[in-house]
Amino acid sequence: MEGADAVVNLNGASIAGGRWTPARKALLRSSRIDSTRLMVSALAKLQRKPRVFIAASAVGYYGNRGDEILTESSSSGSDFLASIARDWEAESARPRAAGIRTVILRLGVILSAREGALPQMLRPFRFGVGGHLGDGRQWMSWIALADAIGIISAAVADERYAGPLNVVAPNPVRNAEFTRVAAHLLHRPAIFPAPAFALRLLLGEMADALLLSSERAVPERLLGLGYDFLFADLETTLVSLLRPR
């Protein structure tokens, strides 16, 4: 990293990459916290330090908060993912002591046509068995991949970007609304809801954290900085992503 202008750390094992056994949970923590600690320690020893260190986190920092509107000043939650994010951010903030501008990205669900969460979320709809998860009232904070990249690019260039940022679109949606929009755009029914108890039987603790948890995060600081979202509305975003290439 010697001589680098900016360092962006997005490292971490996939949260949804396997059932949360004790070994898997240990990997989720170490791949974020231990790797960041190693990187930050190396940054502090550089003769020519970068101007900015940009580090990933997630809106899971806030935990399951129902209908509460969550800004960057909201407190951290208390569940497993919140504890990881809190400790991860603590490691990521250390470069500030070495005079390096530090930006922490609290990422929502990143929507991309080809990879990540969206293809998995749409698969049941494509087979005609889509439906809302649990009662469908949980909020989903999302961000288009193009905007996630745009925000990182802005954070590299703009000295005003510092501290935690909710990297989410301005309009979070309830799971029931996501279900309605996805079914409409794919011309498929959405009549097969997945009960919470069934999801918990299938996925264990991961079901509550990833599918049933409600995080209504808003990009208060990004809007204050004047970031111009390419995709602010879910339906417009999905129309663009699902358009035949």
* Euclidean distance between CA atoms 164 and 227, whole angstroms: 15
Report d(CA 55, CA 58) in Å as an integer. Answer: 10
Question: Could you tell me how far CA 172 lies from the centroid of its own chain?
Answer: 12
55 DSSP β-pair partners: 9, 104
Q: How far apart are CA 34 and CA 154, in angstroms?
A: 27
Instruction: Give pLDDT, residue 196.
Output: 92
pLDDT for the residue 65: 96
pLDDT in the model for residue 116: 87
Contact 117, 111 (CB under 8 A): yes
State the residue for tokens 């509460």: 68
CA–CA gap between residue 219 and residue 168 (Å, rounded): 6
In angstroms, the CA 115 to CA 183 distance is 19
What pLDDT is stored for residue 245 in this prediction? Answer: 59
What is the chain's pLDDT, residue by residue, as a tens digit (245 residues)? Answer: 999 999 999 999 999 888 899 999 999 999 999 999 999 999 999 999 999 999 999 999 999 999 999 999 999 999 999 999 999 999 999 999 999 999 999 999 999 998 889 998 998 888 888 999 999 999 999 999 999 999 999 999 999 999 999 999 999 999 999 999 999 999 998 888 899 989 898 888 889 988 999 999 999 999 999 999 999 999 999 999 988 65
87 class by beta-carbon count within 10 Å (0-12 exposed, 13-18 middle, 19+ buried) = middle
- Determine the Cα–Cα distance for residues 144 and 108; give it in Å rounded to an integer: 9
Structure tokens at 231: 């995709």
